[in-house]
Amino acid sequence: MASIADHPTPASRRNSFWRHFRYVLASNPVTAVAFALFMMFVTAALFGPWLVPYDPLATDGASALQPPSWSHWFGTDHLGRDVFSRVVVATRLDLSISVAAVALSFAAGSALGSLAGYYGGWTDRVVGRCLDTIMAFPLFVLAMGIVAAAGNTIENVIYATALINLPFYARMARAEVNVRRESGFVQAAKLSGNSDLRVLAMHIFPNSLPPMMVQISLNMGWAILNAAGLSFIGLGVRPPTPEWGIMVAEGANFIVSGEWWLALFPGAALMLAVFTFNLLGDGLRDLVDPLRRT
C-alpha cells in the first residue's frame, strides 16, 4: 500500500503488526512450528558457509563413506566430504532457486491473471488459452525440455520452474480479481478518478493477496522439489556444487551397498523444506488478511 507512509504513528502500526504476528502464532501452534523451521532454513541459507564444521568441497580420501558419528553428524560421502556441511550449505542454493522462480512466476502470473480477470473478453481468452497450452504439457517434462533446449544453467532452471508455475498464479489472480471487479469500492475508486490500471493495481489486487499467499507458500515447496528434481537428473546444477537433488542422486548409488546416509540426509532436508512451506501457507494468510486484525 502506497499510503502507509503518510500515517502519523508508524510506530504504533509496527507494534500492532507484531502484536498481530504473535497472536497468529499463539493461536495456531502449527504455524509457530512452521515459522520456527522457516527461520532455521533462512539462517542456514544466510550463514550456512560460516556455521558448518567442514569445507563442503574439501575431499579426504582417508575418511570416505564413514557412517554418522560425533565428528561427522551425517557421515561422509565417497570422496570423504562431510554430508552435514554439504546439506547445510546447499540450503542457500536451493532456496534461492525456488524463491527466484516463485517470485518470477508470482509477478508475471498475477499480472497476466489480473489483466485477464479485470478486462475479460479478448484479453481473458488469449491469456486463458496460452495458460491452457502450458498446462497441457506434463509440467516436469516441460521444465526438462526448456532447460535442455535453453542451456544447462541455473538461470534456465529458474526460468523453467517459473514458467511451469505461472498458470497457477494467473488462474488464481484471475478468479480473485474477477469477483471483485464489480464491488462497490472498485466503482468508488473509479469515481475518485483512478484509471483502470490504477484501480486494478491499488484497489483490487492487494485485496486478492491473502489467498495468493497460501499459493505462494505451497508453491515454494513445489519449486524446491522441482529444482532438486531437475538436478537429480543432471540438469541445472552440476557437481561438485552442494545441492540436495544432486546429493540424493549421487547417494542413491550407494544405498544398495548399505551407505544410506548419503541420500537420506539431503532427502530429509528436502522433505522438511517442503513440509515447512506447506505449513507456512495458512499462517501467512492469517497474517496478511486485514479482517483477522482487530
Region 90-119 residues binding another protein, contact defined as CB under 8 A:
none
Shortest approach of another protein to residue 34 CB, angstroms?
A: 21
Residue number with CB closer to another protein (7 or 238): 7
Shortest approach of another protein to residue 154 CB, angstroms?
A: 36
**Stretch of residues binding another protein (CB under 8 A), selected from 1-9, 137-145, 163-171, 238-246:** 1-9
Q: Residues 194-223: x/- map of binding to another protein (CB under 8 A)?
A: xxx------x--xx----------------
Region 20-39 residues binding another protein, contact defined as CB under 8 A:
23
Shortest approach of another protein to residue 210 CB, angstroms?
A: 10
DSSP result, 129-194: HHHHHHHHS-HHHHHHHHHHHH-SSHHHHHHHHHHHHHHHHHHHHHHHHHHHTTSHHHHHHHHTT-
Residue number with CB closer to another protein (131 or 204): 204
* Contact call for residue 1 and another protein (CB under 8 A): yes
* Contact call for residue 122 and another protein (CB under 8 A): no
* Contact call for residue 257 and another protein (CB under 8 A): no
* Contact call for residue 293 and another protein (CB under 8 A): yes
Gap between the Cα atoms of 36 and 214, Å rounded? 18
Shortest approach of another protein to residue 202 CB, angstroms?
A: 8
Region 164-183 residues binding another protein, contact defined as CB under 8 A:
183
CA atoms lying within 13 Å on the CB side of residue 278:
10
Residue number with CB closer to another protein (17 or 137): 17
Shortest approach of another protein to residue 141 CB, angstroms?
A: 36
Q: Is 195 left (phi over 0), alpha (psi -120 to 50) or beta?
A: beta
Region 180-199 residues binding another protein, contact defined as CB under 8 A:
183-185, 187-196
Shortest approach of another protein to residue 197 CB, angstroms?
A: 11
In 3D space, the residue among 213, 211, 220 whose CA is nearest the CA of residue 42 turns out to be: 220
Shortest approach of another protein to residue 12 CB, angstroms?
A: 9
Binding interface with another protein (CB under 8 A): 1, 3, 6-9, 23, 183-185, 187-196, 203, 206-207, 290-291, 293-294
